[in-house]
Amino acid sequence: MLTLSKVFNSICYTIFPPTCLHCEELLRSGEEYLYFSCYAELPLNNGSWISPQQNNIRDRLDQEVNMATSLFFYTSDNIVQSLIHHLKYKDLPKIGAWMVDHFVFPCDSIYSKSIDLITSIPLHPKKQKQRGYNQLDKFCERLSKRWDVQYDPEVLIRKKHSTSQTKKSKIERLKSLEGVFEINASKRKNIQKKHILIIDDVITTGSTIKSVTYLLKEGGVNDVSILSMSVVF
């Protein structure tokens, strides 16, 4: 006998059938978020998984981090852009957990044995209130469970609501990030001499990551590593 929730879901599926977040084709049984052909064409950043200690992402960060990995390549009109857009602006934070379930496994043995703590790039409180969530939380929560490593979203505080970094030069980005972040005073003891993994959604120039890395190392962290959903090249 069908439960009330199953009946409701069936009705919703009939009236509003799920479509691919990129090509908008109707999803078939077993497909989630992406039509099969779009899923198959996701631009995976395999090289950074194979060599997280020697790759273009780490070079972009001036080798200040211990390891750096990105799941996908990001461009302004590709499938990854569609996923990130829905993740951030269409109230679909569960896409983050889906990414972990489907794409993080190459990083399992490399990261899970060396990371002491997972944290994420915070939103300004005003922006998080407007959006209703931090788009990185579901990703980090699933990763924390998968690797049995604590996730603490409150290690860093965003003091200033910085403007969009998209059209700024590398120097302009670094300058605009001065004083934007600080370490949460109540967390300082917890991060001493730890290896911390920072999660972000898109790495462009790497200015935000570098700013946070310097801050954490000045605060007593031994090593910082990076895992981003995507990277722009």
The CATH code of the domain that includes 215 is 3.40.50
Q: How far apart are CA 11 and CA 24, in angstroms?
A: 20
Q: Give strand pairing partners of 219.
A: none
In this structure, the answer to whether residues 91 and 189 fall within a common structural domain is yes
Kindly state the tokens that stand for 19: 């479509």
- C-alpha 87: how far from chain center: 10
In this structure, the answer to whether residues 91 and 198 fall within a common structural domain is yes
| Predicted TM-score of the model (pTM) | 0.88
Kindly state the tokens that stand for 35: 């039509």
- Check whether 203 has a pLDDT greater than 50: yes
In this structure, the answer to whether residues 29 and 79 fall within a common structural domain is no
In this structure, the answer to whether residues 53 and 152 fall within a common structural domain is yes
Other C-beta atoms closer than 10 Å to the C-beta of 220 total: 13
Mean pLDDT, all residues of the chain: 90
E strand or H helix at 207, and its extent? helix 207-218
Cα torsion for 67, 54, 59, 144, to the nearest 10°? -20
In this structure, the answer to whether residues 12 and 74 fall within a common structural domain is no
Q: How far apart are CA 21 and CA 27, in angstroms?
A: 10
In this structure, the answer to whether residues 27 and 135 fall within a common structural domain is no
User: Is residue 1 classed exposed, middle or buried when 0-12, 13-18 and 19+ CB atoms within 10 A define those classes?
Assistant: exposed
In this structure, the answer to whether residues 64 and 145 fall within a common structural domain is yes
In this structure, the answer to whether residues 33 and 48 fall within a common structural domain is no
- Check whether 6 has a pLDDT greater than 70: no
**Degrees (nearest 5) of the Cα angle 100, 25, 74?**
45
- Check whether 13 has a pLDDT greater than 90: no
Which residue from 163, 200, 199, 158 is spatially nearest to 179, judged by alpha carbons?
158
Q: What is the pLDDT of residue 9?
A: 42
Q: Which domain holds residue 101?
A: 43-232
Could you give phi then psi for residue 47, rounded to 5 degrees? -60, -35
Number of domains in the chain: 2
In this structure, the answer to whether residues 91 and 180 fall within a common structural domain is yes
Residue pair 210/61 in contact by the 8 Å Cβ criterion: yes
What digits encode the pLDDT tens for the residues 68-115? 999 999 999 999 999 999 999 999 999 999 999 999 999 999 999 999
Q: What is the pLDDT of residue 114?
A: 94
In this structure, the answer to whether residues 19 and 56 fall within a common structural domain is no
